[in-house]
């Protein structure tokens, strides 16, 4: 069948090398979450990450994936999807009988979306299991999506197991600045969001306490000690108002 697409565009600019990469034209893989599904979600987009290094030019590639799903299952699970698919948005316009109903979500992460769709469609065998099953960046991408679509409660059966292994990477004694974490500042920012989104108070307190004791304040910004890296200066999702609260806490701890 031909398809009709309700498109959400990506604003990423590409270099000439990336535009010339033929692998960007690879058609999306098609994954049937529901063999009788009536909706095709095209998640992500074909992207060439072009890098020059001492060994020459390297291309890392990301590709869109089409997931065949049950639109009613999505609408029942999320008010955001219900509004998108059932309540007059551009995406809700049904195609002609001989066309696929395709909704493009180029900004979303295909792997994170797959986990969500597996849970919604009761395909629990496709959900990662175990303490080490979800690296920090993967769990961050997943919780950003569940927050966006109002689906955080779906993760409750797995959340405690996923975060259990992450606690071990924080220093045991958060009162001593000498107890350095093995994680980068960026990873700790991701972990703070994960703890907040999943409601893990112990993990949140551990990360927050470490960051307070291992940052300093310069011109109203939190700076990682020993570097010029600013905390919460990137597009990483963060708990509401945490930056201002963090600065206030850090000021209270600094000697006058």
Among 127, 157, 184, residue at a domain's last position: 127
Task: Return the structure tokens found at 196.
Answer: 């907040």
Are residues 134 and 123 part of one domain?
A: no
What is the arithmetic mean of pLDDT over 86-106?
80
For residues 172 and 236, state if they share a domain.
Answer: yes
If asked whether residues 20 and 119 sit together in one domain, one would say yes
Give yes or no for a contact between 205 and 216, defined as CB atoms under 8 angstroms apart. Answer: no
Same domain, 122 and 218: no
- DSSP letters spanning 132-200: TSS-HHHHHHHHHHHHHTT-GGGGHHHHHHHHHHHHTTS-S-TT-TTS--SS-HHHHHHHHHHHHHHT-
Residues 42 and 23 reside in one and the same domain: yes
Q: Is 191 found in the same domain as 79?
A: no
Cα–Cα distance list, 51 to 26, 56, 111 (Å): 20, 8, 23
Lowest mean pLDDT among 108-112, 147-151, 244-248: 244-248
Domains contained in the chain, number: 2
How many CA atoms within 13 Å lie on the side-chain side of 114? 16
Q: Pick from 64, 83, 66: which is nearest to 74 by CA?
A: 83
Question: Domain check: are 134 and 123 in the same one?
Answer: no
- φ/ψ (deg, to 5) at 118: -60, -40
Shared-domain flag, residues 139 and 237 = yes
Q: Show which of 103, 127, 151 is a domain's final residue.
A: 127
Does one domain contain both 200 and 247? yes
Helix (H, G, I), strand (E, B) or coil at 20: helix
| In a shared domain, residues 89 and 134 | no
pLDDT at site 20? 56
The pLDDT score that the predictor gives to residue 94 is 73
| CA dist 59 → 26, 32, 38 (Å) | 14, 29, 35
Residue appearing with tokens 């974490």:
181
Instruction: Say yes or no: 117 and 158 in one domain.
Output: no
Mean pLDDT of 79-103: 82
pLDDT-derived band of residue 208, with 50, 70 and 90 as boundaries? Answer: confident
Of the three residues 80, 98, 127, the one that is the final residue of a domain is 127
Position 204 scores a pLDDT of 86
pLDDT higher than 90, residue 234: no
**% of the chain surpassing 70 pLDDT:** 68
Q: Are residues 76 and 183 in the same domain?
A: no
Residue range 40-61: average pLDDT?
75
pLDDT score of 176 more than 50 = no
pLDDT digits (tens, 9 = 90+) for 5-34: 545 444 445 555 545 566 567 788 999 999
Q: Would you say the pTM of this structure is higher than 0.85?
A: no
Predicted local confidence at residue 22, as pLDDT: 61
Confidence of residue 247 (pLDDT cuts 50, 70, 90): very low
Q: What is the pLDDT of residue 65?
A: 96
Tokens encoding 209: 């306490």
Average pLDDT over residues 107-114: 96
Structural domain boundaries enclosing 103: 1-127
Q: What is the pLDDT of residues 183-197, one digit of tens each?
A: 777 888 899 899 989
Taking CA atoms, 220 is separated from 60, 118, 210, 217, 230, in Å, by: 38, 44, 19, 6, 10
Q: Which two tokens stand for residue 39?
A: 């909706």
pLDDT band at 144 (very low <50, low <70, confident <90, very high): very high
């Amino acid at each position: 069948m031909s398809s009709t697409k309700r498109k959400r565009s990506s604003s990423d600019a590409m270099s000439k090398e990336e535009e010339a990469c033929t692998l960007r034209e690879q058609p999306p893989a098609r994954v049937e979450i529901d063999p009788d599904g009536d909706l095709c979600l095209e998640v992500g987009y074909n992207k060439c990450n072009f890098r020059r290094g001492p060994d020459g030019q390297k291309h890392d590639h990301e590709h869109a994936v089409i997931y065949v799903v049950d639109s009613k299952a999505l609408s029942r699970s999320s008010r955001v999807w219900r509004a998108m698919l059932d309540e007059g948005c551009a995406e809700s316009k049904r195609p002609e009988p001989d066309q696929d109903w395709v909704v493009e979500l180029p900004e979303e992460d295909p792997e994170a979306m797959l986990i969500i769709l597996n849970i919604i469609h009761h395909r629990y065998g496709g959900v990662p299991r175990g303490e080490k099953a979800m690296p920090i960046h993967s769990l961050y991408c997943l919780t950003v999506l569940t927050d966006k679509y109002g689906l955080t409660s779906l993760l409750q059966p797995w959340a405690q197991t996923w975060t259990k292994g992450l606690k071990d990477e924080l220093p045991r004694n958060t009162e001593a600045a000498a107890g350095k974490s093995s994680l980068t500042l960026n990873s700790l920012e991701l972990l703070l969001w994960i703890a907040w989104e999943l409601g893990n108070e112990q993990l949140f307190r551990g990360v927050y306490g470490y960051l307070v004791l291992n940052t300093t304040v310069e011109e109203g910004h939190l700076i990682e000690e020993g570097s010029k890296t600013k905390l919460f200066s990137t597009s990483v999702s963060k708990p509401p108002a945490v930056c201002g609260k963090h600065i206030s806490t850090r000021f209270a701890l600094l000697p006058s």
